[in-house]
Structure 1
Amino acid sequence: MGGKYAAWEAGEITPEAVLAHKAPTEGFLCPLAANKYGIDFREFEIKDYDKALSLFHVTRPADAPAIDVTQVPEHMEDQVRSIQYTFPKAFFDMETIKTSLVFSVGSEPVPSLRMIERHYFKGELQRSYDFTFGFCIPGSTNSWEAVYPVPQMSAAQKEDMLNCPHETASDSFYFVGDTLIMHNKASYAYSG
C-alpha cells in the first residue's frame, strides 16, 4: 500500500503517538480496510446528561447490512468517516454530556477496544478523552456510554467558537491493542 498510510503500515501509529498530537491530523492515518474486526457503528447519540435532551441521534435499521468497505470508492473514503455537527448555542451552558454508541463486531474476537478522541479549536488541542471498552465477543452487538463534563470556557472563547463554524474539530482513533483499526473525523458548529 505505502504512500499516505506508510506510517500505519510500519506500526508507527500507536496510542502513544496519537496522544502526542497537538493539532488535527492532515488526513486519515489508516485505510478503511484496517478495520479487520468488522466493527460497525449502528447507533450514536449525544445528550445533555442533566436534562436528558438529545442533541444528535443517528441509527441504522437492525436489518441493515454492515458497510462493505471494499466497495467504497477511494474518492469517497474521506466522506465515509467524516461528519459535521451543528449544535445549539445552549451547548456551552451544559455541564455534562453523555454519548451512547451501539456497535457490532464481525467474526473475530476483539481483545480490547480503545478509543482516543482529541478535540481542537483553530488547530490547537483543547481536550483529550481516552476510553477502553475491553473484550468484544465475535458476532456481538455492544453498547458503550460515556459521561463527561463540558469544558469551562470564557464568554470570549464561546463567542469565538460561535463565530468560527467548523474550526472546532476532532480526531477519533480506535485501537485494538496497539493497532489502529479506524480513524474518524468530525467538525462542529454552534448556532442560535
Structure 2
Amino acid sequence: MNRLAAAGARTLGIALLTTVLVHPATATAASDTKTSSIPVDPATSIQMQVSANCDAAQARCFFTTTASMLTREGPTGFPGDTWARQTVTLRSSSKDVWQQAWYSAPSGNPRELKGANHENVLSKMYRALDDVELSITYFGGGPITRFTADGDSVPIQWRTGLPATDADFIACSQIQVVYGGVNLTTPSACAQTRFG
C-alpha cells in the first residue's frame, strides 16, 4: 500500500513539474523604484523617488517621480515659502533610441508634449537625439501630490522607427528645494527597467 501511495505521489509530482515547464508564467511588465535623499537636519531630509515600468503589450514605458520631506512622522509636503526646480531625464541604454514622451506635472493634469503652467507649477520638455528632459519649477509649497509628476514614453529605434523593446528604459530625477534658509539639491535617483 505504501509503495502504491509513493508511486502516485511521484506521478503527481512529475505531472506538476511538466505543467510548470510547459506553461511558464509570463510577465508583461517590469518595474523598478529608486530613492535618493539629502539631510536638512538630523530629523528631516528631502527625498526624491523615481519609479519606472515598461508594458510590452503597449510597447510603452511609464514613470512617476515624487519629491517629499521625510520627517520622524513620515513623508510630508513642503512649506508654503518653497521654491523648487526638478529635472527629469528619460533615456534608453541604447544611443540608437529616442523617446516619444508625454507627461503631467503635477500628476493628474492633462498630458503635455511641450510645456504648461498648472497650479503654479511651470514645466517644459526638452528633446534631444537620445533623451528627453523635463524641467519642472514649483512656486509655493503644498502636499506631496503637488510634487508628483508622471508620464509615459515609447522608446523608438532610429533605424526602423519601431518601438525599441530590447533596450533598457531609464528615468532619473533630482530636485533643488529652497525654503526658509534651506537651499539643497538631492542626488539623482534613477530607475532602470526593460520590457518583460
- TM-score calculated relative to the size of structure 2: 0.40
Instruction: Tell me which structure has the larger Cα radius of gyration.
Output: 2
Structure ranking higher in strand proportion: 2
Question: Which structure carries more helix by proportion?
Answer: 1
